[in-house]
Structure 1
Amino acid sequence: MTKDFYTAIKERRSIYGINNEVKVSDEKIKEIVEFAVKHTPSAFNSQSSRLVVLTGEAHNKLWDITTETLRKAVGGGDFTGTQQKMDSFKSGYGTILFLEDESVVKSLQEQFATYADNFPIWSQHTSGMHQLVVWTAL
């Protein structure tokens, strides 16, 4: 079933009780991410956003690496709360990483020096729009 845009935005919510129950197929996730990358607007049509979908072992490895990195940063401090949060993220089905290609941003800064200070900001705006499109579509 497809919802109209207003309804989809109105009903979109963050879910904090993460689990690995899949509501859509891997193919549908891929379709949504590819649609977002292709059709979400960006300043100067820069298309600086990069999205990476991780499932299975790649998803687990990301959260293991993140956990160990944070454990080192905390040092001897209490890691209990952070461990619980990392475990909750890892318990999900997958992860979508939203990244910005800094080389695209830098190239635009060089080409259009008048707007150079704005390109990093516009790049982050684009990332936010991608996140809204993907999470609403999911």
Structure 2
Amino acid sequence: MSIVWDERGGATVVRDGHPQSYVDPDDPLLLVFEYVQQFALVLEALRPDPAPLAVTHVGGAGMTLARWVHRVHPGSPQIVLEPDVPLTELVRRELPLPRATGSGSGRSPGRTGSPPCGTGRPTSSWWTPTTGDGCPPV
């Protein structure tokens, strides 16, 4: 697990030899990976105005989307649930979130903390958008 910095000042989070996320600390609107762009499009459709949007992120890697939400929807309360503790510690140390992002990150018990990946169905008790890229391959 590592963070690879590029000449533009951005960083790629690499885990098991595979790029997981890209973060430009100076430009949180830069979304390099297509899957993160798709999450952002969905969130924009849910809340096109800049009002705060409460978001739970299941899987966070570099917390790219949390940074984007903070910029696009200032004051948004967010939580990032990342089951990989060493990854979370690395990102906190090397790519800390800006102060006052409204985001927190915590240890998640993985599958016990949410419905099994791909089987969750929204219910009336779900009131915040939940992004999920923390599922293991099937």
Same-fold call, TM cutoff 0.5: no
Q: TM-score, normalised by structure 2?
A: 0.27
Instruction: Please state which structure has a larger fraction of its residues in strand.
Output: 2
Larger RCO: Structure 1 or Structure 2 (Cα < 8 Å, ≥ 6 residues apart)? 1
Name the larger-Rg structure.
Answer: 1
Q: TM-score, normalised by structure 1?
A: 0.27
Instruction: Please state which structure has a larger fraction of its residues in helix.
Output: 1
